[in-house]
């Protein structure tokens, strides 16, 4: 889906919002590893449990997030090789009206499979509510 690692990173951040411009399923290489922020447990998403859009379940689990978007505020490479790049990112989640909901840091790792860069893991931390 993404020709460059930076494009994959930008797609991955956009896909965790509710814009519906990018399907979460289309921005990852399965299985993708994620630390779940609400209970700090690890989860692997694969074909059996990956949502088409991350926002598909928000009405049930995170109703305040419905309509929210994410912005990539900054990023830097932490470590890389020819097939993977781990980025330290700073991002913001915005309410539907554009006001700030939260900021967070995360390690997003993108991987290259046959020239296609996509997200393979994400680990958010330093989550600060506005």
Average pLDDT over residues 37-51: 63
- List the domains of the chain with CATH numbers: 5-129 (3.10.450.50)
pTM (2 decimals)? 0.88
DSSP 126: E
Choose between 47 and 101: higher pLDDT. Answer: 101
Whole-number pLDDT of residue 44: 61
Tens of pLDDT along 12-33?
Answer: 999 999 988 888 888 988 887 7
């Amino acid at each position: 889906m993404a020709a460059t690692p930076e494009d994959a990173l930008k797609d991955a951040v956009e896909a965790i919002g509710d814009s519906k411009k990018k399907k979460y399923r289309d921005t990852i290489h399965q299985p993708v590893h994620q630390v779940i922020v609400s209970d700090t447990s690890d989860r692997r998403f694969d074909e059996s449990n990956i949502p088409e859009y991350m926002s598909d379940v928000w009405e049930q689990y995170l109703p305040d997030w419905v309509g929210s978007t994410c912005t990539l505020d900054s990023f830097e490479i932490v470590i890389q090789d020819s097939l993977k790049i781990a980025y330290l990112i700073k991002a913001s989640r915005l309410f539907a009206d554009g006001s700030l909901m939260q900021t967070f840091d995360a390690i997003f790792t993108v991987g290259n499979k046959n020239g296609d860069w996509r997200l393979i893991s994400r680990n958010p931390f330093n989550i600060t509510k506005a």
